[in-house]
Structure formats: C-alpha cells, structure tokens
Structure 1
Amino acid sequence: MADEIQIEIARRYMRGIGFGDQPYLVYRHDDAGHPHLHIVTTNIRFDGTRIDLHNLGRNASAQTRKQVEEEFGLVKAEGRGQQAQPIEQSIQRQKAQYGKRPTKSEITRVLRLVIDQYEYSSLEELNAILGLYNVVADRGSPGSKMFEQEGLVFQLLDEQGEKVSASIKASALYMQPTLKKLQAKMKRNTELKKPHAKRVRSAIDFALLKKKAPDLNYLVGALAKLQIQVLFRQTGEGFIYGMTFIDHQSKVVYNGSDLGKSYSAKNILERCQLPAWKRPVSLRPERKWLPPLRSLNPLTLFIDLGRMVTEWMAPEVYSRTFVVDGIPYAYRKTKKRKRLKK
C-alpha cells in the first residue's frame, strides 16, 4: 500500500475520533503479518483544555475504524481471530525483496521478526528461519579472516536461495546482532527450548500413527495445520539427510536429531513412503561382472570381445562397478603368494 494512502487513512482516523486538530506523529511498522501504523498524540488542546478519553475506544474509535475499513477496502478487524492465517501466507508477505527497499532496511526488518521472537540454539537453526524471509547470516568460510575473528555479515537471498545483495556487517545494523551476542542468546535458548519439544514430538508421532502408510507430503501437511513447518536438507541428487522443524506457534526451532533419535531424518524416512526421486541413493552398488562369451564362433567372439572392452572402459561402469571398500579394483594391491622351496 502506498505511503500516501496510509497517511490519508491516519488523517481520516484522527478526524473521526476528534483528534484532527491535535499534533500527532504517524510511523509505519512492518514487524507483523501485515503493515500497520502507530500514532502518537496528546489529548491536551492548544488552549489547555482536555479531550475526554472515556470510552473513546469503544465508541468513537470503533465506529471510525469500521468506516475507514469500508472507505479504503481494508481487511475487517472483526472476525479475523476466528480463523488462523496460514503461516506460509504471512511469511510470503514479509519476505525481503532485493531492490524494493534499501538492503540494510530490509535485513533489519526481517531480523526484528526473527532474532528476539524465536528460540534457536545454533546458527544453522537461525538461518533456517531467516531463509524463509530471504535473509542469511554468514560467518565466512572456515579458515577465512572473518571466520577466525568471529565476524558475521547478513545478506539478502533470491527465491532460489542465492545471495544477491552486498554484505552488511552485524555491527552496522541497528540491533547489532553480532556473533558474540547471538551465541550468548543461543546458549540460553538451549534450555528455553526444552519445554516445547514435547509438543513437536507429539505432533510428529500423531501424524505418522494416524495414517496407515504416511508419506512426507502427508507429514508436512499434518504439521502445517499445527503451525509447525518442516524444512528438508538435501543433496543435489535429492537425498534427504536432515530435517528442521520450526514451531511458529511456540516460536522454537529444532533439528530433528535434537528431538531424539526417533526424530532424526533417517528414522522418520524409514516410517514414511518416499517418492522414487527422494529415495536414498545407494553409496555402494552391487558389483557387476562383465557378460560371458556366447560362443567360440570367430565372428560372435569378435563382437563379444568388443562389447566387453567397451563396458570395461566406460567411466560410469568403471567408477560405479569396480569400487570395493572405496578403492578402485584396478588399484587394489594383492599379495603375492610365496612359492614353497622344494
């Protein structure tokens, strides 16, 4: 919504409640599921008389609010709490967008939504939430100067999770969420998270027991109804090696293994039926031998030998078939038997 429209909404509201001639300050807030306004004013007039505030909220304010909602086509306040808003919609509206506002302002806005609102106990868990809003906290590569000096920067991401903005130092942001401050908070959060773990574990168990043959899509949908979001960590081949659970109701984040051995990615996958592309890739395929010769006919023998050489030299067969205990077959050393002296 344009700033001019919001200014007019504020002006219209203040006139409606009888404060149109009073000095007031309006500022916009984006730290909730919707942009909103805060207004600061005084009930003392220029001549020193006082504006009566008795039942102002129930009478003039409520009536004016309804009129403003109708005039400007706003979402009506009455009945909003009767149905919980899907968390995905709320997050989608609050996602940072590169170029929409100054990068520093966008990052600060998202940090206000996350840093002090959620309980996380590692930088990976913090990034799991920040990533939902297209922001990432980066320590730098291990061994780098920034990593060794415990520095921290924040950047904006695009919808594919790629970094698209310049780095902003944590110390340069309004909240100054430096690594030292975050680590102290994470240490406290480790204990604060524990009472909420039972709710997440119970939600997972109930979802998996309720359906005879549950799959990941069913699990994700069942938990979403309870405001619990599931994030998967996958390899390029689609192999799922980790899960993160974000409880948006209790404002806590857990890696699956932190909830207990039964809630690690490996154990949950064993309880679910996965689509083929998500099944774990075998790291040690069965050993395949070259096909036998079909006959001793010279022509057939020549064709078979050519086929054997082709399959033997194929890189995919060589690397995939003849690897035993991590060592290519051709490089495996064999011990020579010593001949017995007569």
Structure 2
Amino acid sequence: MDYQKGDVKQQVSSTVRSCLRYYRCASFGEWRTLLEAFNVSAEERTGTIDGRDYAGMIYGALTDDGYGIGTPFKSSRIGKDVGYEALQRYYERSKTALKEPGVLDELWEKIADGMARCSNRTEFCERLHDKGVDAVFRFNAAGRIYGVTFIDHEQGIVANGSLLGRNFSANVFEQQFHAEEKGGRVFQESSGQTQFSSKESFRSGQSFHPLDAVLELADVQAYEVEQQRIRRRKRRHLI
C-alpha cells in the first residue's frame, strides 16, 4: 500500500482481499497486525444507536512509520466480503484450519530455533525474517512485552505466541530478552502502539504461571483504551 500512488481505495481493497485469500488469522488482533505489515489500517466499530446494535469495519492507509494518512473509509465501500460479519466467518474458518494436526509445526520449529540461537530481539527477528517469518512485539507503557504475533509469509499463517504454546508466551520473551530491554530498546511506532518487529528488515521450555495470562490480559485492555484515545486524537488532527 503506497498512499502517494493514489487510488487508495483500490490499493486497500486489493491488499485486504489478497490477505484474506492467502493468510489465516484467527482473531481481529491478528488480522490488524497482518494488514499493518502492508501499510493498511483496520478498525472494528461496534456499539448501539437508538437501541439497535451495529458492527462494522473501517479501513485506511498507513505510512511506512505506521501513522494513519488520508481519510479512513467504511468496508461497505469495498464490499461485504471484507466487512465485519464476513470477517467473523473468516476467523472461524482460520481457527479450524490452524487446529489441524501439524499445521503449526513448521512455524513452531522456526521460532524455537531462533529462541535457542539468539540473545536479543533484533537478532531473533532477523533470523526469523530469513526463514520467511516476521515477528511483531507489543509493549505496554512500562516497556514490558505483553504480546507477540508471528506472520509466516511462506505458509500464510498469522499466529499470536499464545496460540503456539506456553513456551512462546509474552512472559517467556520478556524474560529471555530482559537484558536487552535494560540496555536499550528498539521501538517502532505503529498506529499509536509501541512495537518492534522484523518489518524493518524486510523493508530493511520456560515455566508458565496462570498469573502471566492475567497480567497479559490487563496489559491488552489498557492498550486498547489507549489505542482508542490516540485514534480519536489522530482523527481530530486529520480533520
């Protein structure tokens, strides 16, 4: 997606439909992360007006740095096949496909190999990129890793670390790369979120505790609230 080339709706439409055909995402979070890798933003809009529930999708363009550019538009301007209800069915089909025996084995092995051989996030992301996988880390305001999503471009798989197993939870990566976190962070600002990924490069068995999942959920909820605030501010700025 290149905003400067114009015909934004057509570019977004082509990108979104290509991703739907080729990749499998089991949730909106994974879907949004995938599209951001191609400079496309996605937002869910749900609520109630005059006692009637509504749910829709908003798509738009992003700069290479991950900032919104231009005016986002409703999915209806592209078609029902990229709308909210169609995506819910797509997530369910993806969940079913990703549960098939052996589907995630190759991706699991690539990540495990990178974790065993790399001592920092930069090296880890570069190694995965060489194997056709991009890793997107998400951080809370305190700089703690609260999530990671892997995009396997060769297999068309988008999976959060939690989907792959306990050894790939955010807490495990936080512990493994803690020394680097203290020494200095490499961040990428994307759509109001602080994240680090191997996006720059292609443009360029630890213990688990239930408390980890609770902490991650709290971080995610805080992040979503902050995301909404930032997006409202950006829209006011664009207007």
Query: TM-score, normalised to structure 2's length?
Result: 0.68
Q: Is 1:160 the equivalent of 2:65?
A: yes
Q: CA deviation at 1:101?
A: 1.6
Q: Deviations over 1:120-178 (max 9, x none)?
A: 011110111100111112113x6465x94011121111233222222322122156311
Q: CA deviation at 1:230?
A: 0.3
User: Aligned residue for 1:267?
Assistant: 172
AA aligned opposite 2:6: R
More strand by share: 2
Give distance in 2, aligned partners of 1:98 and 1:209.
39
Give distance in 2, aligned partners of 1:125 and 1:236.
21
Task: Please provide the CA RMSD for this pair.
Answer: 2.3
Give distance in 2, aligned partners of 1:152 and 1:226.
32
Query: Per the alignment, in what secondary structure is the counterpart of residue 143 of structure 2?
Result: coil
In structure 1, runs of 5+ residues without a counterpart are 1-95, 280-342
The 8 Å contact of residues 239 and 278 in structure 1, kept in 2 or not, is answered as no
Q: Deviations over 1:271-302 (max 9, x none)?
A: 334242449xxxxxxxxxxxxxxxxxxxxxxx
The 8 Å contact of residues 196 and 252 in structure 1, kept in 2 or not, is answered as no
Q: Is 1:201 the equivalent of 2:108?
A: yes
Q: 1:223 to 1:261 in 2, by over 3 A?
A: same
Give distance in 1, aligned partners of 2:117 and 2:59.
41
AA aligned opposite 1:261: R
Query: Per the alignment, in what secondary structure is the counterpart of residue 5 of structure 2?
Result: coil
Q: Deviations over 1:55-94 (max 9, x none)?
A: xxxxxxxxxxxxxxxxxxxxxxxxxxxxxxxxxxxxxxxx
Query: TM-score, normalised to structure 1's length?
Result: 0.49
In structure 2, runs of 5+ residues without a counterpart are 187-239
Query: Per the alignment, in what secondary structure is the counterpart of residue 161 of structure 1?
Result: coil
The 8 Å contact of residues 196 and 250 in structure 1, kept in 2 or not, is answered as no
Q: For CA contacts below 8 A with separation 6 or more, give which structure has more relative contact order.
A: 2
Q: 1:133 to 1:175 in 2, by over 3 A?
A: farther
Q: CA deviation at 1:209?
A: 2.3
AA aligned opposite 2:44: R
Q: CA deviation at 1:232?
A: 1.0
Q: CA deviation at 1:265?
A: 1.3
Give distance in 1, aligned partners of 2:130 and 2:83.
35
Among all aligned residue pairs of Structure 1 and Structure 2, give the percentage whose two residues are the same amino acid: 23
User: Aligned residue for 2:38?
Assistant: 133
Matches within 5 A, 1:63-78: none
Aligned partner of 1:170 among 67, 75, 88 = 75
Give distance in 2, aligned partners of 1:261 and 1:278.
24
Give distance in 2, aligned partners of 1:102 and 1:210.
44
Give distance in 2, aligned partners of 1:114 and 1:183.
15
Q: Deviations over 1:237-266 (max 9, x none)?
A: 433211100111110001111111110111
Q: Is 1:97 the equivalent of 2:2?
A: yes
Q: Deviations over 1:192-239 (max 9, x none)?
A: 12333211221122222235xx22122112211110110011234433
The 8 Å contact of residues 240 and 278 in structure 1, kept in 2 or not, is answered as no
Q: Number of residues paired by the alignment?
A: 180
Give distance in 2, aligned partners of 1:237 and 1:99.
35
The 8 Å contact of residues 151 and 159 in structure 2, kept in 1 or not, is answered as yes
More helix by share: 2
AA aligned opposite 2:34: I
AA aligned opposite 1:192: A
